[in-house]
Chains A and B, each alone.
Chain A
Amino acid sequence: MRTVRVIYKNLRQRALATALTSFSIALGVGLVIAITCLRQQAEDTFNNVAASYELVVGAKGSPLQLVLNTVYHLDVPTGNIPYGYYQQLKQDWRVHYAIPFALGDNYHGFRLVGTEPEYFTRLELRGGGKAQLAGGRLFSQDYEAVIGAAVTDLALNQQFLAKHGVQDTQASEEHEQHKFTVVGILKPTGTPLDRVIFISLGSVDEIHQPDPNQPIGGADLMDALANVPEQTAGAPVPLTPTHPEPRPESQNTQTKKSESHPARQEETPDHGHKQISEVTAVILKLKTPPFMFQMHREINKGPVAQAAFPALEARNLFARIVAPINMVLLTVSALVGIVAGISILVSIYNTLNERRREIAVMRALGARRRTIFSWLLWEAAAISAVGGIAGIGLGHLTLLGLQKMAYGISGITLAPWQLIRTDIPLTQLAFLNKVPGEILIVAVAVALGALMGLLPAVMAYRTNVSANLTT
């Protein structure tokens, strides 16, 4: 008979206690795995999404809020900036492209984002691809909409009314005069883009024009006052209060060329609809990386807008907000694991009294003390190993359960079966980074279990054979 079989039989004899103890270990391990996977995948997605955007420009306020709103379609806007400011940015010789972004309405909680078709043709998503249509076409006029893959409430050619505000509340009013028609559906991107309804920039502006037949007063008046543009619509606004930096001759030439380029002219102002007064943000791609920092500095010095680096803000979000929360959750999970480990001790310890006779009989049959000692340790480790392996399944099944909800809330696609990336910063332990995190977590659980088995094992080791054979 092999030792493994003896341990299996010993555990099977106390199947209920073994199963319950293993389950508590599985819960601890499952929690650690689910939280770690969730954090890693969320961070990866956030970083990947942020990498698609070099610089975003919006109203003064919190740069994190600006990035959350523009890049991740979360939170509320910091405010609006004049359309002329966007035009000025677009015409800046350092800018490769500038995509406007206007916000203000929602449909069943899905945000309506007013933008230009450039959003789809120029903006590169993670992996270098671009947003692609799964069906229909891009919008070509006002009140046409292209919906993200997660906007399952709508279908192609369906008409809908938008509600005022970026969040769906009962108090929100519907824009009853303005019906949108879905003309295109995007393929899933696994990013927050999937939860967005894209419309033309003109639609956003027009839908929010006050009805000339209605007198302004009360809340409408406050709204109107809050949205008074700082400059006349369409008029250029200086980037900084000071004079723009002098450019070399060649660059001026380039700018002039750009300004006089017919395609460039077609892209500018009005798209055949009314004069647009404001945008919420502008997504900028610069011609070379050094311009990013230059423009970031210039814009932030100016009185009108702020510029933010999405990649930096995403990192800050995780370092300052998510990481501490993650640490708290991991600590709680670790505590669950430790409590589960203690339950191994309690479980084996409680059975020791009834097992003393068995241990004494085994000793009388010739089992050595160290054999009994090691069996107890192996039993504790086996309970942990079974719990740990079940915990891997439990953790990943939890992610599978959360997948739909996470996609619905954030547009982020979780990979439930993706293994945990080990990321140990210590160079001495860098070799462990090749091992999936799950293996390490289970190894720690097994070691903890064996440690907890130590006390019962020592007690078993010291069993008084003679006394227990005669009682």
Chain B
Amino acid sequence: MLHLSNLTMQYQGRDGGTVQVLNIPEFSLAAGEQVALIGESGQGKTTLLHLIAGILTPTSGKIELAGVILNNLSEAARDRFRAEKIGYIFQSFHLLPGFTAQENLELGIMFAGRGGGPARAKGLLQQVGLAERLHFYPRELSAGQQQRVGIARALANQPVLVLADEPTSALDAGNRETALQLMIDLCREQNAALLVVTHDRAVAARFPRVVELKDINQL
């Protein structure tokens, strides 16, 4: 379902030289598979997620997702593809502060161009235990509740792949467990593949497949 081959990513350094961040000859993820990618800070975990999401374009190589080679697409087409096929969970939730919990989900559905936004948003928020908080603004929610909204938002557009960037690192132990379980359960329920990047081995241990970034990233 997701296949990376000969993927490299270089940045222009401040001194004018190039800094290579990623060099992944091969990496694959099956449909509905749940994988934890573990690595230390600064190893390029987030960059890899941005490449898979089509937010960044690789220096070279190929990213194939759901039968589409992402780096062959224009930026607008990548945006559309991302809206329709990918869900994104952020480390610090990144809920839009001017919109209620339900509206945060509806926006994702809107970008995907799908109908039935309010009903699906309500349904998902009920699933994450926030039926009573539909019209709450992010500032009115606890950190754990915010991340539950973030998880529901990532699934609102019915994605084939959910990318989660350190999704529990801003949560306390109780909320971490709840969020993690919800993420795993919901992705399984919706048959969405889940790729979680984390530096926390305890979090990684919850996943059936754990990949060390340093094993696939040959710098």
Known: A1-B110, A6-B107, A367-B111. A362 touches B96 (CB 8 A): yes
Known: A357-B94, A361-B94, A469-B50. A368 touches B80 (CB 8 A): yes
Q: Collect the chain A residues with CB atoms within 8 Å of residue B22's CB.
A: none
Is A365 a contact of B88 with CB atoms below 8 Å? yes
Select the stretch in B97-105, B174-182, B186-194, B196-204 that faces chain A: B97-105
Is B83 a contact of A367 with CB atoms below 8 Å? yes
Of A362, A366, A465, A470, the residue contacting B80 (CB under 8 A) is: A366
Task: Return the chain B residue nearest A361 by Cβ.
Answer: B94
Interface string of A449-471 (1 = CB under 8 A from B): 00000000000000001100110
- Docked CA distance A231–B192 (Å): 112
Known: A13-B98, A366-B112. A361 touches B90 (CB 8 A): yes
Is B55 a contact of A469 with CB atoms below 8 Å? yes
Distance from A127 Cβ to chain B, minimum over Cβ atoms (Å): 56
- Docked CA distance A465–B157 (Å): 20
Distance from A197 Cβ to chain B, minimum over Cβ atoms (Å): 64
Distance from A8 Cβ to chain B, minimum over Cβ atoms (Å): 10
Task: Return the chain B residue nearest A358 by Cβ.
Answer: B96
Interface residues of chain B: helix, strand, loop or mixed (majority) = helix
Interface string of A362-399 (1 = CB under 8 A from B): 11111111110000000000000000000000000000
Q: Collect the chain B residues with CB atoms within 8 Å of residue A363's CB.
A: 55, 79
Q: Name, among B46, B90, B103, B110, the residue most crowded by chain A CB atoms within 10 Å (CB to CB).
A: B110
Of B76, B83, B86, B97, the residue contacting A358 (CB under 8 A) is: B97
Q: Collect the chain A residues with CB atoms within 8 Å of residue B112's CB.
A: 366
- Docked CA distance A273–B90 (Å): 102
- Docked CA distance A358–B94 (Å): 8
B167 close to A (CB within 8 Å)? no
A10 close to B (CB within 8 Å)? yes
Q: Which of A319-363 contact B (CB under 8 A)?
A: 357-358, 361-363
Q: Which of B4-61 contact A (CB under 8 A)?
A: 46-47, 50, 53, 55-56
Is B83 a contact of A469 with CB atoms below 8 Å? no
Interface string of A135-153 (1 = CB under 8 A from B): 0000000000000000000
Distance from A18 Cβ to chain B, minimum over Cβ atoms (Å): 11
Is B94 a contact of A469 with CB atoms below 8 Å? yes
Known: A1-B103, A470-B46. A367 touches B55 (CB 8 A): no
Q: Collect the chain B residues with CB atoms within 8 Å of residue A257's CB.
A: none
Q: Collect the chain B residues with CB atoms within 8 Å of residue A1's CB.
A: 103, 106-107, 109-110, 117
B108 close to A (CB within 8 Å)? yes
Interface residues of chain A: helix, strand, loop or mixed (majority) = helix
Chain A residues with a Cβ closer than 8 Å to the other chain, count: 23
Q: Collect the chain A residues with CB atoms within 8 Å of residue B157's CB.
A: 365-366
Is B108 a contact of A365 with CB atoms below 8 Å? yes
Is B76 a contact of A368 with CB atoms below 8 Å? yes
Q: Collect the chain B residues with CB atoms within 8 Å of residue A366's CB.
A: 79-80, 82-84, 86, 108, 111-112, 157
Q: Which of A1-52 contact B (CB under 8 A)?
A: 1, 6, 9-10, 12-13
Of A6, A13, A357, A466, the residue contacting B55 (CB under 8 A) is: A466
Is A365 a contact of B111 with CB atoms below 8 Å? yes
Q: Collect the chain B residues with CB atoms within 8 Å of residue A367's CB.
A: 79, 83, 107, 111
Distance from A31 Cβ to chain B, minimum over Cβ atoms (Å): 32
Is B55 a contact of A362 with CB atoms below 8 Å? no
Of B50, B98, B153, the residue contacting A10 (CB under 8 A) is: B98
Distance from A7 Cβ to chain B, minimum over Cβ atoms (Å): 11
- Docked CA distance A370–B99 (Å): 21
Interface string of B61-82 (1 = CB under 8 A from A): 0000000000000011001101
Of A357, A362, A370, the residue contacting B76 (CB under 8 A) is: A370
Task: Return the chain B residue nearest A371 by Cβ.
Answer: B111
- Docked CA distance A465–B97 (Å): 18
Is A361 a contact of B96 with CB atoms below 8 Å? yes
Q: Name, among A6, A10, A469, the residue most crowded by chain B CB atoms within 10 Å (CB to CB).
A: A469
Q: Name, among B46, B79, B88, B109, the residue most crowded by chain A CB atoms within 10 Å (CB to CB).
A: B79
Can you sample 11 A-B contacts with CB below 8 Å? A6-B107, A9-B99, A362-B107, A364-B94, A365-B153, A366-B82, A368-B80, A369-B76, A465-B55, A466-B50, A466-B56
List the interface of chain B (C-beta within 8 A of A): 46-47, 50, 53, 55-56, 75-76, 79-80, 82-84, 86, 88, 90, 94, 96-99, 103, 106-112, 117, 153, 157
List the interface of chain A (C-beta within 8 A of B): 1, 6, 9-10, 12-13, 357-358, 361-371, 465-466, 469-470
